[in-house]
Chains A and B, each alone.
Chain A
């Protein structure tokens, strides 16, 4: 029997676009710009596409919040090597901070959200500080505990509105502001993070993930780099929480719900870890799916977990890397 094997070769177009020839003709430019433009224009056009379905327009906002959370998880897990099992911690802290600023201190909404994002991120970083000098599973353990812990504390002490939460937050002035604040921030964070991880500091962070001893040997403080990374990731997550609190005009312990921890993880695994875009695309798949399955209640979490485990075990590269490969390379069978 003749032995065959599959061969993968880069497309000529891909090779050409790597150098200066990238700007030689509109074909090359389109090859490079096409997927990015498609994503950006698609995201911006999304509210108009669903103009006639008001219910789904709400879902779009939530979808972008999950996209932000997934982005933050992907950055921490695949560029710094810290697995954050408590995305809900970030949203909860962001939500409560913005409620404090907006309701108790009377800040206007455009001031409350940025303040909440920054102070929330500082608070999260401070809370996670003790486990940052350590390697291994400690970070996962501590982030797993915090959302549960804060729920208990708020319930037990009856502070910050207790189980009823804080009501009376300002809403956004109109729907389009509501959509485009989050849309432009998702795009901004997505491309900003891509740039961030490809700069020197991103290289150092990847070094922390792969071999922290060598980073240390280069005279760079590992803990400080991790603090920086956690701060950046918490900025993204806290903004999501603060935005959501204003979207519902309410903050409560449901911002610490399990959904905010598990859906971003599932999105990253499905979309492809380490690509950043994959995280966003994964949440575009999962969140509408979860809306369709709303009737199943907590069974949805079982479904995510099944998908998640399946992808981790059988297709750990994720959709995005698969699609990139199809875009840049072609395959053919050759004789051995």
Chain B
């Protein structure tokens, strides 16, 4: 029972981490290697607002930090990626460099050690089927599911969401209908960054804010996206459940050190067996040589 409950929590955590990455990739086809950096950046911003500006209420700090992260994402596209759009090598190098710059800049600025923690939303724990679960993890599950539903509604029932989906499906046809490709890309990067910031705010109270988490988040996000099929949202959620439970099982029966190994093995098996991922049917022919 414990395995199932914590497996679900772990899976929702993973899918929250990777949602931003998959959203950006599916819409603008930019592999955002700065994803983990944005995650840590937003966690650090919240910490900064709470501790350095006295009297800043926690909820307000969260909102400001997430919006700042979104703005950073939009600026990255507007000033850097827009000039190298379509040049795949340059896109990868540029986003990777930006991510590294943010992470290592934060490390240089003093973000190391275990002193950077965020308060949990609600203290205490509750017994579910004889398993003790603290409120923060319950909130993560609840908010996570709510986020999926909201995103689904957003992309299906709002005009801008429909525009994003249009660009994701067929860029030329969407442009012919008067949808601005660059504008949607900016929006997608902003939303993607905001989602990674949102995930950070939810997940970071469970641990310390350290730079290494940034790299781990990036790797887990990529692993989940590759396994689910790059750019497929349903695939992302299914894949995060696959990896989430696989990680917990190895943790329970082998050792805790293998979380990363599980992620990489899963990627390699996926690439060998079905390179387009669980749900990436649509682009299968394009990606295989």
Contact = CB atoms under 8 A, between A and B. Distances in A.
B162 interface: no
A145 interface: yes
Interface in A273-294: 273
B54 interface: no
A156 B215 CA distance: 18
B93 A296 contact: no
A103 B218 CA distance: 36
Contacts of B89: 77-78, 81, 83, 273
A265 B99 CA distance: 14
B90 A148 contact: no
Interface in A128-164: 130-131, 133-138, 140-142, 144-146, 148-149, 152-153, 155-157
Nearest to B269: A130
Interface residues of B, number: 44
Given A131-B271, A313-B94, A298 B289 contact: no
A145 B219 contact: yes
Contact of B275 (A133, A155, A296): A133
Nearest to B263: A145
A305 B98 CA distance: 7
B94 A153 contact: no
A130 B97 contact: no
Contact of B230 (A137, A152, A223): A137
Nearest to B82: A313
A149 B261 contact: yes
A195 to B, nearest CB: 24
Kindly state the interface size class of chain A when it binds its partner. Answer: 35 or more
Contact of A305 (B31, B97, B219): B97
Given A142-B271, A302-B108, 10 more contacts: A133-B288, A134-B287, A144-B222, A145-B267, A152-B260, A212-B289, A262-B100, A301-B104, A306-B101, A308-B97
Interface of B: 31, 33, 79-80, 83-84, 88-90, 92-94, 96-98, 100-101, 104-105, 107-108, 215, 218-219, 222-223, 226, 230, 255, 257-258, 260-261, 263-264, 267-268, 271-272, 275, 286-289
Interface of A: 77-78, 81, 83, 85, 130-131, 133-138, 140-142, 144-146, 148-149, 152-153, 155-157, 212, 216, 222-223, 258, 262, 265-266, 269, 273, 296-299, 301-302, 304-306, 308-309, 312-313, 316
> A-B pairs with the 10 shortest C-beta distances?
A156-B257, A305-B101, A301-B104, A305-B97, A299-B108, A130-B271, A298-B104, A302-B105, A137-B31, A308-B97
19 contacts: A130-B272, A134-B287, A135-B288, A138-B226, A138-B271, A142-B267, A144-B218, A145-B219, A145-B223, A148-B215, A153-B261, A156-B258, A157-B257, A223-B289, A302-B101, A304-B97, A306-B101, A309-B101, A312-B84
